[in-house]
Structure 1
Amino acid sequence: MQINVETLSSVKKKINFVIPAERVSQEVDKAYGEIKKYAAVKGFRKGKVPMGLIEKHYGDKMAEEVLKTLVNDTYYKAVADEGLNPVSFPVIESDALKPGEAFNYSATIEVFPKVELKEYVGLELEKEQLVLDQEAVNARLAEMQQSMAQLVPAQEGHAAALGDFVVFDFTGSIDGVPFEGGAAEDFQLELGSGRFIPGFEDQMVGLKAGDSKDLNVTFPEQYGNDTLRGKPAVFAVTVKEIKVKELPELDDEFAKEFGEFDNLDALKAKLAEIQKEQEEHRVEYELKERMYKQLVEKNELEVPETLVDRQVEVMLEQSKQRLAQQRLTLEMMGLTEDAYKAQFRDAARDQVKSSLILDAVAEKENIEVTDADFDARVEEIAQSSGQDKGSVAKHFANARAKESLTLQLREEKAADFIISKAVVVERPKAELKA
């Protein structure tokens, strides 16, 4: 057998095979021998069909089986012998299989790139100076106050404003014809919540209990119901009641509602502590992002598109999960899955590059994940998710889950190593480079 490997790029190889006629004939005879055992041709019992008829009726089946056998027997051995590390299944191209003749085929694959590290020690990085903002604590306190608010009937003659809750009846129609699902009674809506289509809630501002009004709106082009997309509609609304929020006083009694606090000062101190932790995390995260960006810029690397495809799929699923937690969808954000993949493909490519570079750094610097590292992360996951550590540990006892977490920890340790060897300059947020 002859094998020739063509280098199409640093991450794409084409392996060409020439399989001798003798080997082809052996596999053809073997395939026909198996086919003869079950071949069914009218007028002949199984196992008694003449070979000429088997070749006529089962030639395509024979070629399929022989091709599969020859590829399986030669491709994987060639990959191992040539020291190739594929990241994708091969794309097979072949000549027609002809008994008694040599068989030619090729397998095109993407492989992991060989990373040649150029610059990763002594990077010059900017880090934002940590400045704690009391206004952020006050804003969080205001959110908590809002969450404890009570809805009470508005005073007579009160005009609805953003933030008010309006109870109303409505009927929607298009060209004067009501549409399915476009009507309700005693519906309660917070104005400004964005629950209704654009323009609906804004037109209710200023209405009073007892008022009726026709609201003219247009359904978005990305609306979930395709029969309504992009169509103008009229909603006849009648306001029955307006409710306003009554906020509790910010005092010691308010603080006690949250369990562990004796007074308002203790609650504020805890909020300040949480805000400090969040800001520290954000600053460290952004420092790492700047490091990743430099790492990719200073260590040029071509990556297989297969890995980019996988990464963008991971990013898509993560984004969909985050949106679902907020009761949102891609469509509500004006995106389709294909549009998302196109928009974030470059970001996915950079993530693949930085991951491969970090792996190379870990290899060069002998960075390993210890049992203590692994156990600490399992403990961290258990605490953050509110799960029992034993159940989390059981999940990561699975070989694939354990390998995935180990690779993640190894990359994180490599990133920490690079930052520890970098020249880090702290600057005020306003002075940081874009």
Structure 2
Amino acid sequence: MFKKLLAIMLTVAVAFSLVGCGSDEGKIKLAKYKGVVVYKDDIKVTDADVKSAIDNALSQSAKEKKVKKGKVGASDKVNVDYKGQIEYKGKKEAFEGGTAKKQDIDLAQDAQNYIEGFTSSIVGHNVGDKFTAKMKFPKTYTNKAKVKGKEVSLAGKPVWFTFKINSLTKKETPKLNDKFVKENAKTLFQADKDIKTVKELKKYIKTEMRKYNIS
């Protein structure tokens, strides 16, 4: 590899600089470097490496599209109405702060903002669905809420959330084909030459990855 070759060249240069001092003192004996083979092909870039690089680039160029039909996935964004109820004096009653209209939720990023089971209960339902899911506030939950004007603790209490899914936002990842490559190779893949086909793109990326690994 080029790094090995560079190391050998530097060793030789240092050796000659010491020998050239005009004195026997400080002379060094060169190690055997003849016959050392340096192969550029030692750098291995697999098809899986190339595919991973392309997939990452395609993911970065994905566009969001709001749809009014479809099933909710774990990485989608949704707009929902929801109403939470807890048991109070033998009845299910709404509690302050547990209701929202047209709430946007990123299911992949916002899960930590809600109690366990809140966002996951939405996954798998369709736009337009109305449903109720039961979950429980953590025992360590410190927030309190008013129910019929009286403040109560929510810690450890069962809660029922009724949802209505208004809309769904999905990420659309572009398909890798010759047309996409021709239009985006220079901007998306920083290609310094005209690349018009998927085959040319893969070859280019493999070459660039090998350059990066050698440098």
Q: TM-score, normalised by structure 1?
A: 0.28
Task: Give the counterpart letter for 2:170 in structure 1.
Answer: V
State yes or no: 1:217 paired with 2:139.
no
Identify the match of residue 52 of structure 2 among 139, 143, 151. 139
Asked if structure 1 preserves the Cα contact closer than 8 Å seen for 2:57 and 2:188, the reply is: no
Asked if structure 2 preserves the Cα contact closer than 8 Å seen for 1:165 and 1:244, the reply is: yes
Aligned residue for 2:3?
A: none
Give the structure with higher Rg (CA): 1
CA distance in 1, matches of 2:120, 2:168: 15
Instruction: Rate the CA distance shift 1:161–1:257 in 2: closer, same or farther, 3 A.
Output: same
Identify the match of residue 187 of structure 1 among 98, 103, 108. 103
Instruction: Rate the CA distance shift 1:182–1:152 in 2: closer, same or farther, 3 A.
Output: same
Consecutive unaligned residues in structure 1, runs of 5 or more = 1-129, 278-434
Task: Give the counterpart letter for 2:164 in structure 1.
Answer: T
Asked if structure 2 preserves the Cα contact closer than 8 Å seen for 1:192 and 1:202, the reply is: no
Aligned residue for 1:149?
A: 62
Mapping 1:40-189, distance limit 5 Å: 134-154=47-67, 156=69, 158-175=70-87, 176-189=92-105
State yes or no: 1:249 paired with 2:175.
yes
Q: Deviations over 1:323-370 (max 9, x none)?
A: xxxxxxxxxxxxxxxxxxxxxxxxxxxxxxxxxxxxxxxxxxxxxxxx
CA distance in 2, matches of 1:169, 1:182: 11
> What is the CA-CA distance between 1:154 and the residue it aligns to?
3.5
Aligned residue for 1:206?
A: 124
Task: Give the counterpart letter for 2:130 in structure 1.
Answer: S
CA distance in 2, matches of 1:269, 1:234: 56
> What is the CA-CA distance between 1:222 and the residue it aligns to?
5.4
Asked if structure 1 preserves the Cα contact closer than 8 Å seen for 2:81 and 2:165, the reply is: yes
Asked if structure 2 preserves the Cα contact closer than 8 Å seen for 1:171 and 1:182, the reply is: yes
| Counterpart secondary structure, 1:204 | coil
Instruction: Rate the CA distance shift 1:147–1:169 in 2: closer, same or farther, 3 A.
Output: farther
CA distance in 2, matches of 1:133, 1:220: 47
CA distance in 2, matches of 1:132, 1:223: 50
| Counterpart secondary structure, 1:138 | helix
Consecutive unaligned residues in structure 2, runs of 5 or more = 1-42, 145-152, 196-200
Mapping 1:354-393, distance limit 5 Å: none
| Counterpart secondary structure, 2:54 | helix
Instruction: Rate the CA distance shift 1:206–1:257 in 2: closer, same or farther, 3 A.
Output: same
Structure with more of its chain in strand, by fraction: 2
Task: Give the counterpart letter for 1:199 in structure 2.
Answer: G
Asked if structure 1 preserves the Cα contact closer than 8 Å seen for 2:76 and 2:107, the reply is: yes
Aligned residue for 1:197?
A: 115
> What is the CA-CA distance between 1:238 and the residue it aligns to?
0.8
> What is the CA-CA distance between 1:166 and the residue it aligns to?
1.8
CA distance in 1, matches of 2:79, 2:119: 12
> What is the CA-CA distance between 1:242 and the residue it aligns to?
1.9
| Counterpart secondary structure, 1:256 | helix
| Counterpart secondary structure, 2:190 | coil
Structure with more of its chain in helix, by fraction: 1
Aligned length: 146
Aligned residue for 2:164?
A: 238
> What is the CA-CA distance between 1:237 and the residue it aligns to?
1.0
CA distance in 1, matches of 2:95, 2:57: 40
CA distance in 1, matches of 2:189, 2:46: 25
Instruction: Rate the CA distance shift 1:145–1:214 in 2: closer, same or farther, 3 A.
Output: same
CA distance in 1, matches of 2:141, 2:191: 46
> What is the CA-CA distance between 1:272 and the residue it aligns to?
6.5
Q: TM-score, normalised by structure 2?
A: 0.51
CA distance in 2, matches of 1:272, 1:225: 55
Asked if structure 2 preserves the Cα contact closer than 8 Å seen for 1:213 and 1:236, the reply is: yes
CA distance in 2, matches of 1:224, 1:271: 51
Higher relative contact order (CA 8 A, sep 6+): 2
